[in-house]
Each structure stands twice: as C-alpha cells, then as structure tokens.
Amino acid sequence: MHRFLYSSLVTVAAALLATASGAAHAGAQEGADDRGGAAWSAAPECVTFSADWRYTFVTNNCPDTHTLKVVYRDGTDVPSRVAPPGAMVTFPGHGTTGNAVLGVIACDGGADA
C-alpha cells in the first residue's frame, strides 16, 4: 500500500507537469503524501528548478516562504526544505542511471520540514 500511494503521487505529479507544458509546477491540486498524510500541492509558478545529474537547484522567486520537495520518476524520497523568498535550495540530482526530476511540490511544513 505504501508503494502504491507513493507511485500515485509520482503519477499525479507527472500528469500535472505534462499539462503545464513541462513547467516545474501546475495548478493547486492537493493530495496526501505517503508518510503520515502530510498535505502537498503543486509548487507555485514563481518556484523554478534546474536539474542535472548531481544536483537539483530549486529557486523561490515568490514573495513568501515555501516548504518544497522534489519529485523523482523512480520515487526517490527526499525531505522537504524551507525556502525563504529569493533563496535557492539544493536537492539531489537525477543521477546517471536514467532517473529524472519530474518537478517540485509544496509541502505543508508537517513531518518533512
């Protein structure tokens, strides 16, 4: 069940990204994270990311602080990070084994923050 919920999260994130023409964010749909039901939603449009094999850099260009998390195709689970306005936070990259960064989601600041 745990694997199914996380796979569903990744699938929803991929679908949102596809409808946003490849952007790192989409509408304000919400769901549940597989670790304790922490709420998540697509990151706002003012949050951008750049991913390479080693690092994924997420920049908060918003006027507000956001708690953010990167979603990976293979379901890699990383902790959320708090990004104040204008900050760049670093997450792991996609690696060299064919994984991909699907996008960035906003966390509620619950168990992951």
Contact between 42 and 24 (Cβ < 8 Å): no
> What is the reported pTM?
0.63
The stretch 85-89 carries a mean pLDDT of 97
Residue 107 has pLDDT above 50, yes or no: yes
CA distance 96 to 113: 28
Position 113 in a domain: no
Position 21 in a domain: yes
2: number of Cβ within 10 Å: 8
25 bridge partner residues: none
Position 26 in a domain: yes
Per-residue pLDDT tens for 8-55?
555 555 544 443 333 333 333 334 344 334 567 889 999 999 999 999
Residue 75 has pLDDT above 60, yes or no: yes
Position 112 in a domain: no
- Higher-scoring residue by pLDDT: 75, 39: 75
CA distance 20 to 43: 12
Length of the chain: 113
Position 9 in a domain: yes
| Least confident piece of the model among 6-10, 74-78, 107-111 | 6-10
Count: domains in the chain: 1
- pLDDT at residue 3 in the model: 53
Instruction: Report percent pLDDT > 70 for the chain.
Output: 60
- Higher-scoring residue by pLDDT: 100, 4: 100
CA distance 98 to 96: 6
CATH label of the domain that carries residue 13: 2.60.40.20
Domain residues for the domain of 45 are: 2-107
